[in-house]
Amino acid sequence: MSYTPNNGPYDTLSPENAVLLLIDHQIGLMQLIDDMPPETAKNNVLGLARAAKTLGLPVILTTSRDWGPNGALVPELAALFPDSEVIRRPGVINAYRWPAFREALEATGRKKVIIAAVTDATCLSFPSLDMVLDGYEVHAVMDASGAEAPGQIVREAVVANLSKAGVNIRAWFGVVAELIADWRRDEAQGWPLATGAVHDHLPSWGYLLDTDMAYGTGQMTPPAWFKEGESEPTGRTPAVGTSAQSG
């Protein structure tokens, strides 16, 4: 039997078959997140959103009562999708049960749904449970969503409930890796994903990429004062950028 790359039994997410739903990532509501620092949740949702934009996925944005304490959409998300309509719900908590949101989802014609929402037990759970029953394959991105207090207890309860209902529990970089599937695709386009969303929002990969690129461009060449076998890290060698001291 012969095999071809990226051909397997699991019907994976791809830029051609998936849609991203971002629900209620609003300035006020971000303060409710208790299972991780809000800035971590913000970083992760921006990484997911930037990756989706880079890969060309449809992205649907929605807010809940974006006046008063809930606040406006996180500015970085608004700036990332300046031409996208934000579906503004006046009070319905379950985004899937707001007609304009549901119509926007159906208009994409896609049944594989990647979803992240500001709060796990409500904004994430309610539409996910509905969509599964309506025949969607739902991928809930937990690290781009947040749990209300007490955070860990809420998160564990949500994961158990969603898993039982058939929702796929995911993390944002795992979703992105599944979408790209082969880094040669990114390489062929000049590395927009790796050096953009992945570099900026996944610090460990960012450090790795910076090191690799520094090495490739000669930025890791030893300084002129370094002599193999003589210049050891004893404290007597000069700091980078200074001249050697005599004696």
| Integer Cα distance of 234 and 107 in angstroms | 66
Quick one: pLDDT at residue 247?
45
Of the candidates 131, 66, 49, the residue with the CA atom closest to the CA atom of residue 94: 131
Residues 95-121 have a mean pLDDT of: 98
pLDDT in tens, 158-195: 999 999 999 999 999 999 999 999 999 998 999 999 99
Q: Is 106 a catalytic residue?
A: no
- Bigger pLDDT: 138 vs 208: 138
The CA distance from 209 to 215, in Å, is 10
Catalytic annotation, pick one of 18, 23, 117, 123:
123
Under the banding of pLDDT at 50, 70 and 90, the label for residue 218 is confident
- The answer for 235, left when phi > 0, alpha when psi is -120 to 50, beta otherwise, is left
| Token pair 């309610």 in the structure block, residue | 126
pLDDT at 232: 60
Provide mean pLDDT across the span 202-209.
90
CA–CA dist 219, 213 (Å, integer) = 8
Which residue did the predictor score with more confidence, 10 or 115?
115
Mean pLDDT score, 50-70: 97
Percent of the chain scoring above 90 in pLDDT: 77
For residue range 141-162, list pLDDT tens digits in order.
999 999 999 999 999 999 999 9
Q: Which of 85-94, 95-104, 191-200, 203-212 has the lowest mean pLDDT?
A: 203-212
Q: What does pLDDT average to over the chain?
A: 91
